[in-house]
Structure 1
């Protein structure tokens, strides 16, 4: 009867793979550290942009992406940057347009008091505004109220979020100086992501702006259009808003700028992803080095096993399993660390924590592949030792 070759069961293989943790725990942990950092970096640099995109989509769902902004630009010969007085009415006649509102730069200066020099503008603008502005740009009043038909004719003002901070105004009822006239603050707006220029402005009524020398000509139009027709509206907007000089009208979609800003914040993702690959490579080299040293230290063990009947395949399988288990444990630790890092970053920014399941699987798979590659040479080297050579080792 011929002898059947001995087979190693899965339980025995797992015990072999975990032996470095029992015999040399510190060395095993340090060897797997590089793998953990590489996988954690992979998860983080993928999870953070995914969380940012999810937050952006939620923000767009609340703000809407159908807002267009038409701004008057100075003419080639220095003509003032303004639109015709009836530009709002003309744009309202575009079929897919739902709402239109306008603001105009009065070129006045707002100050906290008359003791502040007029040259210190704090980077703020005084805008004449129509009453429909908050609904059009989706602005919310944080404190107080917005202008109404009753208050827009009087020296009352609503401050944007940034303007209120720079002027040191926190509550309605405070007075600020606009040119030579005192205006009473009746409200403060919250942040307006799609119209950041409004945040840095003091908003006065269209009629009250006459006291500041306002000529009733808008400088910026904001409009909401049907999403499906947004490109068509954008194409005809310059000719409609300023038929005589359409080249002076610059049309933009604020949501595009917001998207570009978020993309700019993630420009280093590819670089950090490359660093994750470097960390995996370094971790793999560290595991391979550990396994080679393990082979040298365990020559007598290898020789004894070979003398008791273990063939080369058993030895190769044992050391390869140790390498894979070591890297897999590092991969699991790295995934957990990456998930925790992504969740913490998203929580700090008020984003939903999103990590694609495919990235988790890819991270674990990368760790296993690294373990296989790192363990091939040490496993082959160990299997080539003959019993006599191994037992004779010092």
Structure 2
């Protein structure tokens, strides 16, 4: 290996690429899952949402105006708030066509909404008992970007009048619909034709009683037709999203396995060529008394060493890739021991398998045949 360093490096490189891919594919989802666990721990998994479903005739149902106070009467419920769709649009100026909504919805919001969904403000303040009665608006993070608003005090056109932006929200993972919305006060929304019926009710419950609350939430909101209420748990959607991401990880793991196989073939090819190039050396060693076992062990050891070298480099590269990717996503970098130890072990096994045939071929050469 010292006399042919370039060939050794290229042979080990194939193994290294495969191991690096496998380490990264195992470690990146682990980092993602840890970030999800930390995120859910901060946001809480005890948030439930209720929204109108459909009537038995297939028409769109609606939630009663008494939904919020009715839910608040449930014993394990620790907080409840709501938003309601307002039939209007929000635009940067009154010169923009009414059809250009930019995918932004206008929602009537209660003043306790931000606390309940555990959202945070990027700038300004949220609606309070005073501002909810006036033409003021709080923009979700996506809505602010689409409107080109990056500071409070800016005015936007809504319902044929100007509304002043008093706050801009950060991302809200458990309520992504809020990110694409313009939030106005419940009373201010009534001036724009809002009928007072909530379209989404947000409920916080005791951690150990969430499923019990979930079971009675529909009947509590709409006792006459509980089947017309859709109840969901937003944290389940986050978990499901990460599960779909792991399916892509399985695909990349397969690609890493293919790269590892190609690397193993490269090592085997290198060892076969090495046997052919060193026939005279093999013959000389056999003539001086080396046994078949010693010759076989020499070439097998070289093959395993090449693969181990590639495995160690691959593990280091995989760790670096994972750490860099986790840093860009603001995730904790997690490296499962099975990924690190398994990477080196797999490299050794691949090296042993790749070098088995060339080693046996070298051992079968007789001194006279090798020296001829």
Question: Secondary structure at 2:131's aligned position in 1?
Answer: coil
1:359 to 339, 343, 347: 339
User: What does residue 36 of structure 1 align with?
Assistant: 16
Select 1:334's aligned residue among 314, 335, 351: 314
Q: Within 5 A, what are the aligned runs for 1:1-394?
A: 21-77=1-57, 81-392=61-372
Distance in 2, matches of 1:28 and 1:103, equals 65
**What is the rounded CA distance, in whole Å, between the counterparts of 1:31 and 1:317 in structure 2?**
19
How many residues are paired up?
372
Offset, 1:230? 1.3
CA distance, structure 2, for counterparts of residue 135 and residue 76 of structure 1: 35
The superposition leaves residues 26-64 of structure 1 with CA deviations (integer Å, 9 ceiling, x where unpaired) of 111111121111101100111110111111111112111
Q: For 2:191, what is the secondary structure of its paired residue?
A: helix
Residue 265 of structure 1: how far off its partner (Å):
2.7
- For 1:80 and 1:383, how far apart are their aligned partners in 2? 80
Equivalents in 1 of 2:318, 2:150: separation in Å?
A: 41
CA RMSD of aligned residues (A): 1.4
CA distance in 2, matches of 1:79, 1:173: 41
Confirm or deny: 8 A CA contact 1:172 1:187 kept in the other structure: yes
Q: Contact 1:291 / 1:323 at 8 angstroms: preserved in 2? A: yes
1:356-381 CA deviation, whole Å, 9 max, x = no partner?
Answer: 11111111001111111111111111
CA contact (8 A) 1:81 1:219 kept: no
| Higher gyration radius (CA) | 1
SS of the equivalent of 1:23 reads coil
Q: Secondary structure at the match of 2:2?
A: helix
Secondary structure, in 3 states, of the residue corresponding to 1:157?
A: strand
Report if the CA contact (8 A) 2:84-2:108 is conserved.
Answer: yes
The TM-score with structure 1 as length reference comes to 0.91
- Give the superposition deviation at 1:76: 4.5
State the alpha-carbon separation in 1 of the partners of residues 191 and 320 from structure 2.
58
Deviation at 1:114, TM superposition (A): 1.8
Distance 1:243 1:357 in 2: 53
- How much has 1:267 moved relative to structure 2? 2.1
Q: CA separation in 1, counterparts of 2:162 and 2:191? A: 11
CA distance 1:23–1:318, change in 2 (3 Å): same
Mark the CA change 1:384 to 1:330 in structure 2 (over 3 Å): closer, same or farther.
same
How many Å apart are 1:80 and its aligned residue?
Answer: 5.5
In structure 2, do the counterparts of structure 1 residues 155 and 74 end up closer, same or farther at CA, with 3 Å as the change threshold?
Answer: farther
Deviation at 1:266, TM superposition (A): 3.0
Change in 2 beyond 3 A, CA 1:78/1:289: closer
Q: How big is the shift at 1:264?
A: 2.2
Q: Where do 5+ consecutive residues of structure 2 fail to align? A: none
* Counterpart-to-counterpart distance in 1, 2:303 and 2:44: 52
Deviations 1:105-142 (A, max 9, x none): 12122222222222222211111111110111111121
CA distance in 2, matches of 1:358, 1:133: 44
